[in-house]
């Protein structure tokens, strides 16, 4: 997912917002808060997890999209059938790129499963999930990313 930094001034302070929307898409409409991952609290080009404040509206939007749409994504349904009964973790794509395993901050959330089926209304967001870690920013599964960006663009069109 491509990310873009928007710098703006508010009450005499400089703010840097990290968004999934590029400037040509935004134009003069303004950026929907759901498209802003958070604020970079340091001078650029530095951006580490301790220099980043996550936007809770972004996280709520992401979790709601996952809860609503993942049960209809074929790849996740296949994973559920393979697991059977238990949980279906929704893991950030950056997980394991450096260590070979997912940490708690890379687990976005999980669904409950019974006999290979995702149980309705069973999504549980992980409160320890981090949008930005030392391994980089959020990386969604391709199908989920496409749905996420489509919905963000719809919000932009509605504004």
At 123, is the pLDDT very low, low, confident or very high (cuts 50, 70, 90)? very high
> How many domains, the chain?
1
- Domain range for 34 is 4-158
pLDDT band at 42 (very low <50, low <70, confident <90, very high): confident
- Compute CA 90 distance to the chain's CA centroid, rounded to the nearest angstrom: 11
pTM: 0.91
In the predicted structure, residue 100 carries a pLDDT above the cut 60: no
């Amino acid at each position: 997912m491509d990310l873009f930094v928007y710098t703006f001034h508010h009450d005499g302070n400089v703010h840097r917002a990290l968004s999934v929307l590029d400037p040509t898409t935004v134009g003069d409409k303004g950026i929907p808060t759901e498209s802003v991952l958070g604020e970079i609290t340091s001078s650029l080009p530095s951006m580490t997890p301790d220099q980043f404040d996550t936007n809770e509206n972004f996280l709520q939007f992401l979790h709601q999209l996952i809860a609503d749409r993942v049960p209809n994504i074929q790849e996740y349904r296949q994973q559920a059938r393979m697991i059977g009964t238990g949980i279906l973790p929704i893991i950030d794509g950056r997980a394991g790129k450096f260590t070979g395993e997912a940490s708690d901050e890379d687990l976005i959330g999980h669904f409950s499963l019974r006999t290979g089926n995702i149980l309705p209304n069973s999504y549980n967001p992980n409160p320890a999930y981090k949008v930005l870690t030392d391994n980089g920013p959020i990386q969604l599964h391709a199908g989920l990313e496409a749905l996420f960006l489509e919905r963000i663009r719809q919000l932009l069109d509605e504004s």
